[in-house]
């Protein structure tokens, strides 16, 4: 499929599609970055992030399953806090949940578990009619 040219104000055109990073709230990115930094403080070289040397951990299914269970605990704890059944503590449960999602996304890719095209950040953008519908529904 040939790239489609997108024309911007002033006539500048580009043919290379980029993921829509502008859709990610800044506050969420800050919380995720804070959680990744917290992992370094707590676990040092054993923490996982994009720059850590232990990328092989992404291919460990048992570790992924364990971490998803831990993320579930953070989800249930956050629900309890929101319902007033647990005290608000200094632990950022939402940040931990985001870390789990990022780890799961990277791990399932590393394990080769995605269907062809799944996880392709440009899949939606390559179908302009779907993107137009997406944004039209939000106006």
Q: What are phi and psi of 100, to 5 degrees?
A: -60, -40
62 domain residue, yes or no: yes
47 domain residue, yes or no: yes
In the prediction, which pLDDT does 12 show? Answer: 72
Average pLDDT of the residues in 14-29: 82
β-strand partners of 14: 6
Q: Is the pTM of this model over 0.85?
A: no
pLDDT tens sequence across 85-133: 999 998 999 999 999 999 999 999 999 987 766 666 555 455 566 667 7
pLDDT surpassing 80 at residue 10: no
In the prediction, which pLDDT does 1 show? Answer: 40
Q: Which residues, in sequence order, are CB contacts of 52 under 8 Å at separation 6+?
A: 45
43 domain residue, yes or no: yes
52: left (phi over 0), alpha (psi -120 to 50) or beta: beta
12 domain residue, yes or no: no
15 domain residue, yes or no: no
Instruction: Please give the Cα distance from 80 to 86 (Å, whole number).
Output: 5
Q: What are phi and psi of 13, to 5 degrees?
A: -120, 145
71 domain residue, yes or no: yes
- Transcribe 25-36 into DSSP letters: -HHHHHHHHHHH
13 domain residue, yes or no: no
pLDDT tens sequence across 43-83: 999 999 999 999 999 999 999 999 999 999 999 999 999 99
Instruction: Please give the Cα distance from 106 to 110 (Å, whole number).
Output: 6
Instruction: Please give the Cα distance from 53 to 34 (Å, whole number).
Output: 19
Q: How many domains does the chain contain in total? A: 1
In the prediction, which pLDDT does 29 show? Answer: 96
9 domain residue, yes or no: no
Domain containing 95 equals 20-136
């Amino acid at each position: 499929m040939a790239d489609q040219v997108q024309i911007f104000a002033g006539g500048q055109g580009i043919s290379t599609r980029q993921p829509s990073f502008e859709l990610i709230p800044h506050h969420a990115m800050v919380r995720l970055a804070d959680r990744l930094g917290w992992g370094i403080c707590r676990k040092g070289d054993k923490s996982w992030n994009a720059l850590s040397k232990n990328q092989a951990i992404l291919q460990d299914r048992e570790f992924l399953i364990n971490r998803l269970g831990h993320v579930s605990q953070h989800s249930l704890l956050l629900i309890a806090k929101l319902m007033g059944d647990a005290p608000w503590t200094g632990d950022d449960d939402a940040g931990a949940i985001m870390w789990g999602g990022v780890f799961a996304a990277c791990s399932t890719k590393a394990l080769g578990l995605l269907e062809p095209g799944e996880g392709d950040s440009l899949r939606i953008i390559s179908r302009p009619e779907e993107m137009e519908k997406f944004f039209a529904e939000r106006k």
